[in-house]
Amino acid sequence: MKIIMLGAPGAGKGTQAKKIADAYHIPHISTGDIFRANLKEGTELGLKAKEYMDRGELVPDELTCDLVMDRIQKDDAKEGFVLDGFPRTIPQAEALTEALKKIGQVMDIAINVDVPDENIIERMGGRRACVGCGATYHIVTVPPKTEGKCDRCGADLILRDDDKPETVKKRLEVYHAQTQPLIDYYEKQGILKTVDGTKAPADVEADIFGLLKA
């Protein structure tokens, strides 16, 4: 089962990707993890990526796709994989389609976790992170026992810059400009399925597994 997870930042696609990976015993693959692993191992692809990152530049689509293809051809991905955070743009999606074609493979399903912008701004604005141990909370859904303090270590909880409404709005603008077109791309390929990401996480999970078993 080869799966792509789509959805805006904060839609919860990463959480669902992990659940799918655990249930199907396939790797959950994010570009961030791939970059870190290749940098740590000092691979040729990793060193190439590091050159761009050291200059504060984005890693080119072709190189990112090479890193992803290298990862999905490892033994643990023989039965499939879940891609999370890649592709982000149409050129990346096209590069992935072509690279898979060369090895006689295609993606099976693209799952779009659909959440309106206003819900995401509200959801992310409620997140709080511990300055001590990094634990995360949500003032509505996962509140700490003592307001503003971490249950684990007692340190202060803060609203991270990434989760502030103005930052979230900018991230959503980028998402709509670059990543939203992927929904049309995979719809044209006939593999797009959409779930309502405003439901409780357990209900979203049930909907996704219903699609995967259909």
Q: Give tens-digit pLDDT for 45-97.
A: 999 998 988 888 878 888 999 999 999 999 999 999 999 989 999 999 999 99
What is the pLDDT averaged over residues 203-213? Answer: 96
Q: Note the pLDDT tens digit of each residue in 127-186.
A: 999 999 989 999 998 999 999 999 999 999 999 998 999 999 998 998 999 889 999 999
What is the structure's pLDDT at 119?
Answer: 94
- Residue 121: both structure tokens together: 């701004």
What is the structure's pLDDT at 59?
Answer: 86
φ, ψ dihedrals at 113, nearest 5°: -90, 100
Each domain of the chain, given as residue ranges in start order, spans 2-116+178-213
- Whole-number Cα distances in Å, 55 to 34, 47, 108, 136: 19, 13, 36, 31
Q: Report, as residue numbers or ranges, the catalytic residues.
A: 13, 88, 127, 160, 171
Q: Note the pLDDT tens digit of each residue in 119-137.
A: 999 999 999 999 999 899 9
What is the structure's pLDDT at 36?
Answer: 87
DSSP notation for 51-103 = HHHHTTPPPPHHHHHHHHHHHHTSGGGTT-EEEES---SHHHHHHHHHHHHHT
CA atoms of 121 and 124, how far apart (whole Å): 5
For residue 110, the SS3 value is strand
CA atoms of 73 and 205, how far apart (whole Å): 27
Question: Counting Cβ atoms within 10 Å, is residue 132 exposed (0-12), middle (13-18) or buried (19+)?
Answer: middle
What is the structure's pLDDT at 54?
Answer: 86
Q: Which residue is listed with tokens 């989760």? A: 163
What is the structure's pLDDT at 68?
Answer: 94
What is the structure's pLDDT at 202?
Answer: 94
Residue pair 94/66 in contact by the 8 Å Cβ criterion: no
For residue 203, the SS3 value is helix
Cis previous bond, 87, omega within 30: yes
What is the structure's pLDDT at 141?
Answer: 87
**Does the 2-116+178-213 domain belong in CATH 3.50.50.60?**
no
φ, ψ dihedrals at 193, nearest 5°: -130, 140
- Residue 43: both structure tokens together: 């691979």
Residue pair 24/131 in contact by the 8 Å Cβ criterion: no
For residue 1, the SS3 value is coil
How does residue 32 score in pLDDT terms, banded at 50, 70 and 90?
A: confident
Answering whether pTM is above 0.75, one says yes
